[in-house]
Amino acid sequence: LLQEYNEQVRYIFQNYFRSVGVHCKNSMGDDKTLPLSKIKFVPKKTYNLQLADCDTSFLETNISNNCEPRTVCSSFAALSGHTDEQQYSHQSSSNIRHDIFTDVKIVPLVELDDKIQYNGYAWDFYNHGISTAIQKDNCLSNGDDFNKLLDFTNVLKCIQTSLSKLKPLHVYGDILKTFDVVTKEFTSKFNKAYNMRMHE
């Protein structure tokens, strides 16, 4: 399920980066100038036309011979063989041309690692609503359980609100009803366990 979610997120942001990249290319031209040295690298066919007029090094010649136009990827990263594909992860976001907004925090990917055991504190709490058991069973420090469960409560409410705004509403009616029940139940147990009164 998490892998399917990640694929959907990748598809959405890949299209976002490509669309913004095309707009930047059309309005500002190709991203072909390196940021610090200001050296311009152009595609092979254009470069060959300029050879007679330019005094270039062997390295520049080889790099330009292998340089292909990019839309999303920056010209600097392209010199290392990077392409317009797969530019949505924390590792590759620095490869995107600088005029595309690329704060990696906006790409909500779930990092999947077989070595990491994902904690089931939210599910456990939903089942029994006992704060001390959450701390003990899930190795959460005193206070950390409150913060994490409060965050999860707010996530449920955000999802609930977002679903209620979708049109047509009848298509998502069953899902919305389910989230209504889960959110109310979770919030009720949270308020009871931590002796709080929160806005429903």
Residue 115 located in a structural domain: no
State pTM to two decimals: 0.44
Confidence of residue 153 (pLDDT cuts 50, 70, 90): very high
Number of domains within the chain: 2
Are 199 and 162 contacting, i.e. CB atoms less than 8 angstroms apart? no
Q: Are residues 101 and 38 in the same domain?
A: yes
Residue 191 is predicted with a pLDDT of 92
Q: How far, in Å, CA of 163 to CA of 182, rounded?
A: 14
163 pLDDT band, cuts 50/70/90, is: confident
Q: Calculate the CA 100 to chain-centre distance.
A: 14
* Residue in the structure block whose two tokens are 């609503």: 129
162 and 88 housed in the same domain:
no
Confidence (pLDDT) at 67: 59
Domain with 20 in it: 2-106
User: Mean pLDDT throughout 182-196?
Assistant: 90
pLDDT number for residue 186: 94
| pLDDT class of 166 with cuts at 50, 70, 90 | confident
